[in-house]
Structure 1
Amino acid sequence: MKILITNDDGIFAEGIYKLACALNKIGDVYIVAPDRQRSATGHAITMHEPLRAEKIKFFDKDFHAWAVSGTPSDCVKLAVEALISEKIDIVFSGINKGPNLGTDVLYSGTVSAAIEGAILGYPAVAVSLADFKNVNYDAAAEFSCIVAKKILKNPLPPDTLLNINIPNCQKENIKGVNITTLGARKYKNSFIERIDPRGQSYYWLGGEVIDAKNNEGTDIHSIQNNFISITPIHFDLTKFDLIEQVKQWNIKVE
């Protein structure tokens, strides 16, 4: 099995190291990831400047690894179209430090990298550890191997990926696995204004998470109750059940 691994936390993040070490037990891993932190870049790609890819020593491992000057989506495209001559069997993105739940998947570089894999025709998985403090990636890395083997035996439909969020706890404290829908997640945005040395205003964007009521069956509810959440995502955003209604508007050029 040939496994492409990327992330949005950067190629020297602990999460991608733990993921690569775990997946290397079941296949050959190729790591192509941003050379620095690229969180919340969404599905951005680099078009107006060159991309640089440097082959690097990946921690203490003798893996094929490249640090790329672009975004997570750039990394996947560059990996399969230019850097790796072998045929890739599956794409993994992660392990992200922090959750990617609900509508946050629209901003997530982690999820967007997996989406890019699916766009290019590969089975793809985004994996996130749902916490920022005192993180332990071991259970998430081990679970990723289980999912990889399941997908190879049970291929995903085209244009589809799995978004996985895992509680930050020991394996014995995880209550189970739920197959979920995306929940509703919003932020009370807070822009902090500061003044630069030239007297000009600039702003830092922060935000307090406001989780709306998320019923059982959503990814947010699962994580809140110490279950692993697996959400199948289809990147075709068409609202199919609205097509006929809009047709009835009989919109014409005037």
Structure 2
Amino acid sequence: MRILLSNDDGVHSPGLVALYEGLEGFGALEVVAPDRDHSGASNALTLNRPLTVEQHPNGFQSVDGTPTDCVHLAVNGLFDAPFDRVVSGINTHANLGDDIIYSGTVAAATEGRHLGLPAIAVSLVNEGRGHYDTAARVVRLLLENKRALSVGPLSILNVNVPDRPWGELRGIQVTRLGHRERAEGAVPMTCPRGKKRYWIGAAGEGDDAGEGTDFHAVREGYVSITPVHIDMTRYEALSGLQEWVQELDKSAGGGI
């Protein structure tokens, strides 16, 4: 098996190193990651300039671009041999609920899926203990499962691992995405030159975070695995929207 590893925290992230070390010997591993932290980059592609790729002494490669750039370049140009799957992480913090909209970690995985590869995004629900080794072991366990898994087209697995030693995990739960409360307000500050600047406020706490959600699973000490579908169409709203549009057409005298 040939596996591409990437992330959004940068090529020197401890989570990426732990993931590589945890998967050593399982398959042929290649690492292509951003040259710096790109947390919150979502699915951005760099289209206004060429990208630079740098080889590091440990064999990792970095790109002066986004997580999506990294996976796109790796699959579509940097290597002659094809990959079998993409693993993105280990992110330094959780990617729960609404986080995945912004997450570069999830974006790297979804880019792999866009390019036809099964993909996993994995994050450590970091509480300061830094048990990246536990998260890496979870990924290896998932990859070693002999039973083939199909989550459907344009879908990935979003995995969140509690920040605990392996022996303290309570198990694995298949979950749905929860929902966060509204984010905290922007934080104003003044730069040394007297200009007003703003920090984006912290993410809200779990709002829809009850049993069955990813929030609940990790809070109870379980690994959360959520199948995420990239098709964002709200199918349940199609019929109502169609009726609404038809009313618009009538009110315009059929001129639309």
Could you say whether these structures have the same fold, taking a TM-score greater than 0.5 normalized by the shorter chain as the test?
Answer: yes
Task: Mark the CA change 1:95 to 1:151 in structure 2 (over 3 Å): closer, same or farther.
Answer: farther
Q: Which residue of 2 aligns with 1:157?
A: 152
CA distance in 2, matches of 1:198, 1:154: 56
Pair member with larger Rg: 2
Q: Which runs of 5+ in 1 are unaligned?
A: none
Cα RMSD (Å): 1.6
Residue by residue over 1:12-38, the C-alpha shift from the partner in whole angstroms, topping out at 9 and shown as x without a partner, is 111101111122221000000001111
Aligned equivalent of 1:47: 47
Compare the two structures and name the one with the higher strand fraction: 1
User: SS at 1:189's partner residue?
Assistant: coil
Contact 2:151 2:227 in 1 (8 A): no
Match of 2:83 among 88, 95, 100: 88
Residue 152 of structure 1 deviates from its aligned partner by 7.2
Say yes or no: does 1:8 pair with 2:3.
Answer: no
Kindly provide the amino acid, as one letter, of the partner of residue 220 in structure 1: F
Distance apart, 1:197 and its partner CA:
4.3
- TM-score normalised over the length of structure 2: 0.92
Secondary structure, counterpart of 1:166 in structure 2: strand
Give SS of 1:245's match.
helix
Q: Tell me whether 1:238 sits opposite 2:233 in the alignment.
A: yes
Offset of residue 248 of structure 1: 1.3
Q: Which residue of 1 aligns with 2:101?
A: 106
Cα 1:208–1:237, aligned 2, differ >3 Å: closer, same or farther? closer
1:172 to 157, 167, 174: 167
Partner of 2:113: 118
In the alignment, the residues of structure 2 paired with residue 46 and residue 188 of structure 1 have an alpha-carbon distance, to the nearest angstrom, of 27
| Alignment pair present for 1:27 and 2:27 | yes
Partner residue, 2:180: 185
Match 1:75 to one of 70, 73, 81: 70
Range with greater deviation from structure 2 (216-225 or 197-206): 197-206
Return the alpha-carbon distance in structure 1 between the equivalents of residues 55 and 18 of structure 2: 19
Tell me which residue corresponds to 1:219. 214
> Matched residues in 1 for 2:147 and 2:121: separation?
16
Shift of 1:49: 1.4
Match of 1:196 in 2: 191
Give the Cα separation in 2 of the matches to 1:176 and 1:2: 28
| Contact in 2 for aligned 1:97/1:132 (Cα 8 Å) | no
Q: Deviations over 1:65-90 (max 9, x none)?
A: 21100000110000000101111001
Flag as ranges the 4+ runs of structure 1 deviating above 6 A. Answer: none
What SS does the corresponding residue of 1:207 show, helix, strand or coil? coil
Spell out, residue by residue over 1:105-126, the C-alpha distance to the aligned partner (whole angstroms, 9 max, x if none).
Answer: 0010001110111111100000
User: Does structure 2 conserve the Cα–Cα contact (< 8 Å) formed by 1:123 and 1:156?
Assistant: no
Query: TM-score, with normalisation over the residues of structure 1?
Result: 0.93
Rounded to whole Å, the distance in 2 between the matches of 1:186 and 1:51 is 37
Check the 8 A contact 2:5/2:32 in 1, yes or no. Answer: yes
- Cα distance change of structure 1 residues 236 and 208 upon mapping to structure 2, 3 Å threshold: closer
Q: How does 1:122-141 map to 2 (within 5 A)?
A: 122-141=117-136
Query: Could you tell me which amino acid in structure 1 is paired with residue 32 of structure 2?
Result: V
Counterpart for residue 252 of structure 2: none
Q: Which runs of 5+ in 2 are unaligned?
A: 250-254
Distance 1:155 1:245 in 2: 31
